[in-house]
Amino acid sequence: MNKSIIFCGVGGDGIITASNICAVALMRANFDVKKSEVHGMSQRGGSVNAFLVYGKKVYSFLPAKGSLNYMFASEKLEALRNVDYLNPDSKLLVNDRIVPIVGANIDEAQIEESLKSYSLDLKLINFNDLAKQHNMQKAINTIMLGYFSKIIEIDKKYFIRAISDNLSPKLIDINIEAFEIGFNLQ
């Protein structure tokens, strides 16, 4: 059976890079992989998402609504925006933060309550705070990926290689360190 992941967040916050690293890790783990994302207007601070489908043989780039296995969300509101892709068995990793929207009032408590009401396997962790503690504000998503690799049960060695494959040399060490921080988080 193929599995699928959604990566969602706000334009410019590194969602595409995170999904690229994950795609390469899955390739290294010997899966067929297809990834789909939308560029364009969404890069200007709008909602962004990328889908990753992997398995023995993948046809469609996109999963169907209600069929997703995992979610990687860098923001709570954006996680909520994509719940129609999920089902009661989906597992979610959500960064516990809200990015404001120009001209909108966001009721953070309600967003959170709403998210929890789906009774999903939800891990809500503030990765921004965690990154700040370690002085790694530029590698928040990589810390998240470290934790996420355990949720999707893919050996971390594939991720470490994917980080080396995907990032420029001067960023590799710090991102591997960031990955380990996430991986070792309980």
Partner 1 sequence: MRKIISGNEAIAIGAYRANASFASGYPGTPSSEILEYTKTFEDIKVQWASNEKSAFEQALGSSIAGRRSFVTMKHVGLNVAADSLMSSSYTGVNAGFVVVVADDPGMHSSQNEQDTRLFAKFAQVPILEPSDAKEAMGFMQYAFSLSEEYDTPVILRSTTRVSHTQELVYFDMHKLGGMEDKLLAKNISKYVLVPKNALLRHKKLLERNTKLQKLTNEIPLNKMEQGSLNVGIITSGVSYLYAKELLPEANFLKIGLSWPFPIDLAKEFAKNFEKVIVIEELEPYIEEQLKIADIKNVEGKKFFPQDGEFNLDIVEEGLAKASVLEKRHKKYFEVPKNLPLRPPVLCPGCPHRPIFDILHSLRVYVTGDIGCYTLGAAAPLSSIHTTVCMGASISMGYGIAKASQNHKIVSVIGDSTFLHTGIQPLIDAYVNNVAYTVIILDNSITAMTGGQPDAVSGFNIKNEPAPKVDLENLVRSIGIKRVFKVDQYDYKKTKEIIEQEVNTKELSVIIATRPCVLAPIKIKEMPYFVIVDKCIDCKRCLRIGCPAIGYKENKAYIIEDLCTGCGLCAEVCPTLAIVKGESNE
Site residues (CB under 8 A) for partner 1? 10-11, 20, 23-24, 27, 32-47, 58-67, 77-78, 80-84, 86-88, 100-106, 114, 118, 137
- Neighbour tally for 109: CB within 10 Å: 8
Q: Which residue has the tokens 């700040």?
A: 132
Between residues 97 and 150, which has the closer beta carbon with respect to partner 1?
97
Between residues 47 and 95, which has the closer beta carbon with respect to partner 1?
47
Minimal distance, residue 142 CB to partner 1, in Å: 17
Minimal distance, residue 80 CB to partner 1, in Å: 6
Between residues 32 and 180, which has the closer beta carbon with respect to partner 1?
32
Minimal distance, residue 175 CB to partner 1, in Å: 18
Between residues 67 and 164, which has the closer beta carbon with respect to partner 1?
67
100 burial via Cβ count (<10 Å: 0-12, 13-18, 19+): exposed
Distances (CA, A) of 182 to 95, 97, 131, 150: 12, 17, 10, 10
Strands 47-55 and 32-37: antiparallel
